[in-house]
A and B are shown apart, each in its own frame.
Chain A
């Protein structure tokens, strides 16, 4: 974790929330407070975001984007209205049904392909401190006849665990959900921050999911994230401690020698983590809104992500050609099935024909 340049609040009332003090305390504990910090500044986030956006245009790469500058400012505020929603999935693609709690927006990690660069128009790293309101919404959603499993995740607008040692949100959310049956909390991450989760008492409903890529791709494109071995180590620890674990080979990147790289990564991973604790492994290919390409090339001119043949899908996102995607998914799925035949695999944001061709079936269960 990196030290923040600024810690701001939307108004003095934010200091009345216990979460604010918990975060400030943890920031101090991990030595992440800005140099010479005395107290959080009250700022108008809208004006600050506008200033940041303008300032970014004149910065050198990779800081030349508002979202990049926003990573250095932690803004604490409250979220009015609903903080839970159903995962939007993507148009005309098959979806895995998922509910999302957005407590944090923006992420300290800086992956080249990150969609937040085209998605966030409020770039500050914002954390909502009205935790209890959000927990009430979670309770309301979980309080239903437990016929179908309910999956809730927190990793849409940020990494679930990157800031979690500071916010302690995940373990509290896990405790809230522990009162209910047939619910799953999935924490998606590229970090190694898991030790603090060991405080969670009931663990069978918590799945920690790692976004995985071969080490070469992590080093090249997933800036600031935990290394491959660190993710594997964290996953083994969680599995050993009775948590469910999941993996997302997503986005798979088409690059020279991709077969060997992905095969090696999958084998290493499946050799280290007990299969019975693996809840699922998802596979997905690089996809992006066309607007991402100029932004990513501007920030990371050295990237090689955007030069392979691609086509706009029915949802407007660019993807590798169907033949390439199918080949990649089929290959990795076969490797996984060879090593761990019982582990459930699925595709993320893919069309029916690709499912059928790559996995030989359509989605058949509610995770």
Chain B
């Protein structure tokens, strides 16, 4: 390792080649411990900020302290060094491992199933608190079907890979439309998963055109959009859900401060209605209502479609 000083413009940041997801970081010339990592490859210094992205400078072409690492194994080894150093500073999200595996496959034609982990990968995995073996990477490798736009979304939102697991059977234009909608309405991970599921069902029932129409319709809010997708994909369930809300309201249970910490019973009602997964929730209501008949009615309503 050698410390050298270079103009920022002399350094090459392989954003595309190494499929970086991390944002550019400002290089603070005045900070005494500022530096970038670099590796000399075919006469060019391939560099990266210690946090893993490109280094930029507000003052234009800053002088940059450059720690040049040795990579006798060429670019593959340099890439391993990149992972080891940057993931050591800020542990990688799962999607970054998927991106790294994609680089391995597309750029280096390297197959870990045949050749084992490349050099420095075990250290990079350990730096992220992961066991250094192939099994750990298998789930991340499963998501190699995600494109750059989708990986960027997962990275920005800090979503787990499985959020977009149902993207795989969908056609590319539909996936792009979904990504746009998720960004536009700032949809959460749970709802994103649900929407993917419903779009998949819609596709099968009515064809892709129907899904596109629904996704491009000018909905007024995220909630309106979600309900529209739900009602179109699962009309019977949506009708039953509506019926259940009405019946629950008709139960005329006393007002109270919520056991779930919400300020009103109405909100609780909607909460259990929209998340009908746990009939066990009814136990809390039971103790609060203190009326066996009403509690039983409530249970029946919760079980209306389960």
Contacts and interface: CB of A to CB of B under 8 A. Distances in A.
B160 interface: no
Contacts of A50: 133-136, 138
Interface in B219-255: 234-237, 240
A337 interface: no
A313 B277 CA distance: 6
B134 A307 contact: no
Interface string A275-310: 000000000000000010110011001001011011
A323 B142 contact: no
Contacts of A58: 105, 111, 113, 141, 144
B141 A54 contact: yes
A223 interface: no
B279 A314 contact: yes
Given A55-B113, A58-B111, A313 B306 contact: yes
Contacts of A297: 166, 168-169, 200
Given A307-B200, A314-B306, A57 B276 contact: no
A298 B279 contact: no
Contacts of B200: 297, 306-307
Interface string B117-129: 0000000000000
Interface in A308-358: 309-314, 316, 319, 321-323, 351, 353
Contacts of B280: 314
Interface string A43-54: 000010111011
B266 interface: no
B278 interface: yes
Given A294-B165, A304-B204, A321 B144 contact: no
Given A53-B138, A57-B141, A293-B197, A298 B303 contact: no
Given A54-B112, A58-B113, A309-B236, A66 B138 contact: yes
Q: How large is the interface on B (under 10, 10 to 19, 20 to 34, 35 or more residues)?
A: 35 or more
B304 to A, nearest CB: 7
B130 to A, nearest CB: 12
A148 interface: no
Interface string B136-170: 11110110100000000000000000100110110
B169 A301 contact: yes
A92 interface: yes
Given A54-B112, A58-B141, A294-B165, A307 B303 contact: no
Interface in B237-288: 237, 240, 276-280
A297 B141 CA distance: 17
Contacts of B166: 293-294, 297
Contacts of B144: 57-58
A5 to B, nearest CB: 15
Contacts of B303: 322, 351, 353
A84 interface: no
Contact of A57 (B138, B235, B236, B306): B138
Contacts of B113: 51, 54-55, 58
Nearest to A314: B279
Interface in A252-293: 291, 293
Nearest to B112: A54
Contacts of B240: 321
B215 interface: no
A60 to B, nearest CB: 12
A56 interface: yes
Contact of A307 (B105, B162, B201, B300): B201
B185 interface: no
A130 B18 CA distance: 50
B135 A49 contact: yes
A301 B236 CA distance: 25
Contacts of A313: 306
Given A49-B135, A54-B113, A311 B141 contact: no
Nearest to B170: A297
A311 B306 contact: yes
A91 to B, nearest CB: 9
Contacts of A298: 168-169
Given A54-B112, A298-B168, A322 B141 contact: no
A56 B138 contact: yes
Given A297-B166, A313-B306, A92 B138 contact: no
Nearest to A320: B305
The 8 closest A-B pairs by CB, nearest first: A50-B135, A53-B138, A57-B141, A55-B113, A54-B134, A294-B165, A307-B204, A54-B138
20 contacts: A50-B134, A50-B135, A53-B135, A54-B113, A58-B105, A58-B111, A92-B279, A294-B168, A306-B200, A307-B201, A307-B205, A309-B235, A309-B236, A311-B305, A314-B278, A316-B277, A321-B236, A321-B240, A321-B305, A351-B306
